Amino acid sequence: MAVNTVLRTVKQAVWLGWKVDTNWADPLVFAIYYMVRPLAGLLMAGFMFYVGSTVVDVFSGEHFAFLLIGNSFFIYIVQIVMSMSMLIHDDRAHYEVLKHIYLSPSSLTWYILGRALNGVVNASLSLLLTLGFGVLIFQGILGLPIPINWLGIDLPMLALTMLLGTLCFVSLGYVLSGINIMTSRVQFMLSEYVSSILYLFGGVIFTPELLPSWGQTISNALPVTYFLKSVRFSILHQTGGDFQTSLMLLSLTTLVTVGISVGVFRFAMHKARKDGLIDKKEEY
């Protein structure tokens, strides 16, 4: 496919994603909606930690920073994966346009990736706002000592980590898109299940070393584990392994995820055409 065709498809998909995401409400309502959910998730975990610390009368700033970073960046992951997972359901069952996109000379894959790019932009905004408000509330208002030196962040390493992580999570979303093409029953549950597993085993609120050995094995196979480790290295300079190994494992698991996603999606499209699923109407 010609480069200009790809670029045009991606551009239209980003534009469409933005319109579909924002057109339903006025800008203020949209901004509040977009902020409330991730922020509520962060505040919930933060306050649980805070209340627990008050009960035992010990507050560890380092642990709190671990939780704050883990939760904020996990929201980034969930938003990308969820938006891609729901895309197929929305376009096929709700808007009934998936078949027309599929029948156009543009590639469905590039369309999905364009929509994913829109999801990445939204997730990035959400991440920045959640992190900012989290620090403002816990450090600025509640006065908790959070050991983050904002000027000491290793920006090149953080950028590299985000790049690899984003590629990985978009691929994961692509896998879920493929699965959702094959089935029309699990679109809501699937992304919930996947994010729950990643939340539990990915080292979001506690280090994977606290898991039983079988749990650690799962954790070691997940790219999220290395993504969050690398993010924490870049921002908090927390030790517990070395940065290069973490980045290398993130690259490796990302590569595997990309490979799996391409395979799953190809299989899904073949099955969809074989079984007539591209324009399948759902019956509730």
Partner 1 sequence: MPDYVETINLCRTFGKKKELVKALDEVSISIKEGEIFGLLGPNGAGKTTLIKILTTLLLPTRGEAYVADFNVVKEADRVRKIINLVSGGETPGYGILSVKENLWFFSQLYGLPSSVAKERSKRLMADLDFEQYANTRMSKLSTGYKQRMSLARGLLSDPKILFLDEPTLGLDVLTAKKLRNYVIDWAKRERKGTVLLTTHYMIEADEMCDRVAIISNGKILACDSPQVLKEDLRRTPIAKIEVSSIQIDFSFIEKVKGIIGYSETRNIQTGVTHLRVMVDDRRVFAEIESKLTEAKLKVLSVNETEPTLEDVYIRLVGKGFEEAEEKAHA
Distance CA 224, CA 201 (A): 9
99 is a contact residue toward partner 1 (CB under 8 A): yes
Would you give the distance in Å from CA 191 to the centre of its chain? 10
Residue 103 binding partner 1, by CB under 8 A: yes
Question: Given CA atoms 60, 61, 66, 67 in this order, what sign does their dihedral have?
Answer: positive
Counting every residue, how long is the chain? Answer: 284
Residue from the set 3, 23, 51, 284 that interacts with partner 1 by CB under 8 A: 23
Compute the Cα dihedral for 39, 45, 47, 49 and give only its sign: negative
**Buried-state track 203-218, b at ≥16 Cβ within 10 A, e below 16:** bbbebbeebeeeebeb
The answer to whether residue 184 forms part of the interface with partner 1 (CB under 8 A) is no
Residue 180 beta carbon to partner 1: minimum distance, rounded to whole angstroms? 17
| CB closer to partner 1 out of 45 and 277 | 277
For 26, residues 6+ apart whose C-beta sits below 8 A from its C-beta are none
Nearer to partner 1, 108 or 131 (CB): 108
**Residue 124, exposed/middle/buried by CB under 10 A (0-12, 13-18, 19+)?**
middle
Q: Is 209 in the site for partner 1 (CB under 8 A)?
A: no
User: 185 or 274: whose CB is closer to partner 1?
Assistant: 274
Residue 274 makes contact with partner 1 by CB under 8 A: yes
Q: Residues 16, 129, 153, 211: which binds partner 1 (CB under 8 A)? A: 16
Comparing CB distances to partner 1, the nearer of 54 and 99 is: 99
10 Å Cβ neighbour count for 38?
Answer: 24
Q: Report the alpha-carbon distance of residue 167 to residue 117 in Å, rounded.
A: 10
Q: How far is the CB of 192 from partner 1 (least distance, A)?
A: 24
Asked whether position 20 contacts partner 1 by CB under 8 A, the answer is yes
Q: At what angle do helices 27-56 and 3-22 cross, to 10 degrees?
A: 80
For partner 1, how many residues bind (rule: CB under 8 A)? 28
User: Residue 72 CB, nearest distance to partner 1 (Å)?
Assistant: 29
**According to the binding rule CB under 8 A, does residue 95 interact with partner 1?**
yes
Sole binder of partner 1 in the list 143, 156, 212, 276 (CB under 8 A): 276
Give, as one character, the DSSP assignment of residue 264. H
Q: Which of 209, 217, 273, 282 binds partner 1 (CB under 8 A)?
A: 273
Selection from 115, 85, 78 nearest residue 178 by Cα: 85
186 φψ region: left (φ > 0), alpha (ψ -120 to 50), beta (else): alpha
Interface residue with partner 1 among 3, 57, 105, 141 (CB under 8 A) is: 105
Stretch of residues binding partner 1 (CB under 8 A), selected from 5-13, 132-140, 177-185, 256-264: 5-13
Residues that bind partner 1 (CB under 8 A): 5, 8-9, 11-12, 15-16, 19-20, 23-24, 95-97, 99-106, 111, 273-274, 276, 278-279
